[in-house]
Amino acid sequence: MRRALLLMIVAVTPFVLRADAGADGAAIYKSKCAICHGADGKGKTATGKSLHVRDLGSPEVQKMTNEEMQKVIVDGKEKMPGFKSSLDQESLDAVIAFVRKFGGGDSERAASVINAPTTSISKGFRRTR
């Protein structure tokens, strides 16, 4: 009986750890994208303004397919660097899902996640503002 329980814990643990280590789109956005696109995706940062980034929540950007967004993020576009070497597929999916939150007038709520205290977002990013 005890052995069965132990086996069960051993079998389940990797999944629990994996779920925990899953890519956090908000944290990735904050560390790699917010400096240009802004916490609210509107691109009103100094860098964003000088590079003329579009509002990520605007219909023009939101009508891009996930594949089109992924291509821009992986390969870069104009002054935007590509993130081919630093984002794996799981991270790309997570950050694109986060960019989708800027659509539908929900950018303020998305920004509040970005602006939340460091502890509520996973480790591994520097504060950018």
**Using CB under 6 A, which residues numbered 35 to 94 contact ligand HEC?**
35-37, 47, 51, 53-54, 61, 69, 72-73, 77-81, 83
Q: Is 32 in the site for ligand HEC (CB under 6 A)?
A: yes
Considering the complex, what minimum distance in angstroms separates the CB of residue 109 from ligand HEC?
A: 18
In sign, the C-alpha dihedral spanning 62, 88, 84, 36 is: positive
List 99, 110, 111, 113, residue binding ligand HEC (CB under 6 A): 99
Considering the complex, what minimum distance in angstroms separates the CB of residue 116 from ligand HEC?
A: 18
Q: Which of left, alpha, beta for 64 (phi over 0: left; psi -120 to 50: alpha)? A: beta
DSSP conformation letters of 60-127? HHHTS-HHHHHHHHHH-BTTBPP-TTT--HHHHHHHHHHHHTTTTTTHHHHHHHHTS-GGGS-SS---
Considering the complex, what minimum distance in angstroms separates the CB of residue 108 from ligand HEC?
A: 18
Binding residues for ligand HEC, rule: CB under 6 A, are 32-33, 35-37, 47, 51, 53-54, 61, 69, 72-73, 77-81, 83, 95, 99
